[in-house]
Amino acid sequence: MASSDQGSSGAPKPVPGSYGLPVIGAVRDRLDFYYFQGQDKYFESRVERYGSTVVRINVPPGPFMAKDPRVVAVLDAKSFPVLFDMDKVEKKNLFTGTYMPSTSLTGGYRVCSYLDPSEPTHTKVKQMLFNLLLSRKDEVIPTFRSNFSGLLATVESELAKDGKAEFNKLNDATSFDFIGEAYFGVRPSSTELGTGGPTKAAKWLIWQLHPLVTLGLPMILEEPLLHTFHLPPFLVKGDYKALYKYYSTAGKQALDMAEGLGLSREEACHNLLFATTFNSYGGLKVLFPGLLANIANGGEKLHEKLVAEIRGAVAEAGGKVTLGAVEKMELTKSVVWESLRLDPPVKFQYGHAKKDLEIASHDGVFQVKKGEMLFGYQPCATKDPRVFGATAREFVPDRFVGEEGSKLLQYVYWSNGRETESPSVANKQCPGKNFVVLVGRLFVVELFLRYDTFDASVGTELLGTSVVFTGVTKATSGPGS
């Protein structure tokens, strides 16, 4: 089913599409994106209009925050990976796209996500994060289990009291504590930060992401408030300071190690804060609700299969959740990848063409000039029917199981690279790649060691999916712990 990445037919063509009139075109498109069409339709309708998955479009926010909203969008599985090729694209200052939040939100530093691999600091910071994750690898399973079994106990008490339990709120508090404890051995809620960490973090995240979101308020309020000017950084200074204090104290060992890599303690700490709060916490805030929603919608038949696989592997490991046991859970792993494919938590990727390029889609080859901004909307690429067939838009839990299934993994792009490739200091692939797939699986394991099945209602919220538990059926067999 997967189409070849090799070769492309015909002579190179100019990229079709239109940016419309200056300023007016970009503002009009922004309104389509947020209010009149919504994200998916915005991109799909332009692919349809121009009959091409490589197309010239404007991306939000546009005036007055972005100097230039014009991009060449790559919207299929074949053209998208140009964004992973460090010989072809430069990834300096474009983590959030055509605008960059003020560096006063990150202590005056351009943190790792905004650095191109050609910049020496990128290597040092990314190495610091690899070292940190490696040094804490044995802590991940026990820390995950203690934090998330606590979350599920709260779900049960809220269900008993109110008949429902809002997952997102509990996940925010738990994921924030879990990450702090997993990386540094200190739960943020047990420090001076108290239980206020997730709220402070969410506020700071909004200050960076507001140009790209809608809060569901009337357009007349949101346009001037969120999409035209940057929110003033001084309004989150206090929140940032409190977060920084936690990292500078709890992260002492990591900071000692960073100094050994040639980073100043201060630059390392702002980077630790960003990688932990924005990259990791921001990621899990979106990942777990999306995964839970897909599993809830998968229904009882899927739950039964997961129960059998998970409890079988844990029983074989003497009743313990070990890395070896988790590795044996093929369906569980496939479910996590399928959720990352269907709902990639980070949907936009950008890169400036380093030289004149030819980009191949399934249907042709297109010319792009040096300096042009390339943009990928990941859901279009990872739901490409030319690769994933008629079920491309559906959640197929066992899609990646077995030899045939694993051939499709090269088309899973959530980490800003192929799932078959690895992050390194020389590329921009997410250094948390293995950690994320592991905690995704641990989440499913925890759920089905504890429950035979569960019910939940699924909706949407600011950054993704919202899930409310409406019932759980406690485990009737197996290791159960």
Q: Which residues bind ligand HEM (CB under 6 A)?
A: 91, 95, 112-113, 115, 122, 126, 129, 275, 279-280, 283-284, 287, 345-346, 349, 414-416, 428, 430-432, 435-436
Q: How far is the CB of 167 from ligand HEM (least distance, A)?
A: 16
CB atoms within 10 A of CB 433: 18
Q: How far is the CB of 36 from ligand HEM (least distance, A)?
A: 27
Q: What are phi and psi of 48, to 5 degrees?
A: -65, -45
Q: How far is the CB of 478 from ligand HEM (least distance, A)?
A: 28
Q: How far apart are CA 171 and CA 359, in angstroms?
A: 40
Q: How far is the CB of 267 from ligand HEM (least distance, A)?
A: 14
Task: Name the token pair of 143.
Answer: 């820390």
For ligand HEM, give the closer residue by CB, 246 or 451.
246
CB atoms within 10 A of CB 381: 25
Q: How far is the CB of 314 from ligand HEM (least distance, A)?
A: 24
For ligand HEM, give the closer residue by CB, 211 or 345.
345
Q: How far is the CB of 98 from ligand HEM (least distance, A)?
A: 13
Q: How far apart are CA 21 and CA 373, in angstroms?
A: 18
For ligand HEM, give the closer residue by CB, 27 or 463.
463
For ligand HEM, give the closer residue by CB, 58 or 416.
416
For ligand HEM, give the closer residue by CB, 122 or 311.
122
For ligand HEM, give the closer residue by CB, 305 or 354.
354
Q: How far is the CB of 7 from ligand HEM (least distance, A)?
A: 27
Q: How far apart are CA 112 and CA 128, in angstroms?
A: 11
Of 180, 194, 465, residue with least CA distance to 347: 465
For ligand HEM, give the closer residue by CB, 291 or 313.
291
For ligand HEM, give the closer residue by CB, 23 or 426.
426
Q: How far is the CB of 77 from ligand HEM (least distance, A)?
A: 16
For ligand HEM, give the closer residue by CB, 122 or 187.
122
Q: How far is the CB of 56 from ligand HEM (least distance, A)?
A: 20
For ligand HEM, give the closer residue by CB, 55 or 129.
129
Alpha helix locations (H) across 227-365? 237-250, 252-260, 265-273, 282-316, 323-327, 330-342
Q: How far is the CB of 327 from ligand HEM (least distance, A)?
A: 19
Of 427, 355, 421, residue with least CA distance to 118: 427
Q: How far is the CB of 350 from ligand HEM (least distance, A)?
A: 6
For ligand HEM, give the closer residue by CB, 179 or 307.
179
